[in-house]
Amino acid sequence: MIQPPIASLASLVAMAAAVPAPPSGEDRAQAAARRVTPTLTEALKPHGAAIGDPVFIRIVKEPRLCELWIKTKENDRYTLFKTYDVAGMSGKLGPKKKEGDMQAPEGFYATASGLLNPRSNYHLSFNIGYPNAYDAAQGYTGSFIMLHGKDVSIGCFAMTDPGIEEIYTLVSAALQQGQTRVPIQIYPFPITEENLQRHRESPHIGFWKQLAPAWQYTERYHAPAPVAVVSGAYTLPQTDKTP
């Protein structure tokens, strides 16, 4: 029996998270929201936040964490609400460059209403928007990069079913309440001087240094960095908040 090549297998797994599963009575996302809403509502109260408030996501590959930040509409600063373990993620540190390389991306992405999939074969999922303008400028390829349920993934981020139910519910509610896009910022590790020095021999060190100002911005201002792509490179517009 001829086995499919690894690249094809990776593509099929990613597409499975994106392609709707057969409908099963009640909308899966609505059922998930009903399960997690009581717990989330109580957990958000100490932060002065509620389901539907703006959110953003920061993923750190090493040590495999997914942070969910939230803010009230009256506040410019986000609060780190909850940190989830990334249950499944393939590849090594470094950006995704081509379809089938089994790498999970690094950089600055966003999801929106049209990218949510409540009938994913991986329970619930949403597309992070890879490739972005930076990736396109480098000629990188790939598609169907998701945050999804279950605990295994090739090129995506598997958050377990309970984890994705909470994340999906908060993302979906924020979009329904008027947030146009939810930033998803993905780093190889916390971009500190110590970590950059530790990885100074990596072929990706130049790329990681491009990510450093955005990491510092979020650490200082508790908000997603307003990253732009200029001449094929990530940059932060010069403001009074630019590190």
| Identity at 182, one-letter amino acid code | V
Q: Does residue 148 carry a catalytic annotation?
A: yes
47, 66, 123, 148: the catalytic one is 148
Q: What angle do CA 173, 177, 180 make, to 5 degrees?
A: 95
Q: Does residue 156 carry a catalytic annotation?
A: yes
156, 199, 204, 222: the catalytic one is 156
Q: Burial level of 22, CB count in 10 A (0-12/13-18/19+)?
A: exposed
Q: Burial level of 221, CB count in 10 A (0-12/13-18/19+)?
A: middle
- Closest Cα to residue 51, out of 178, 159, 172? 172
Q: Which positions are catalytic?
A: 148, 156
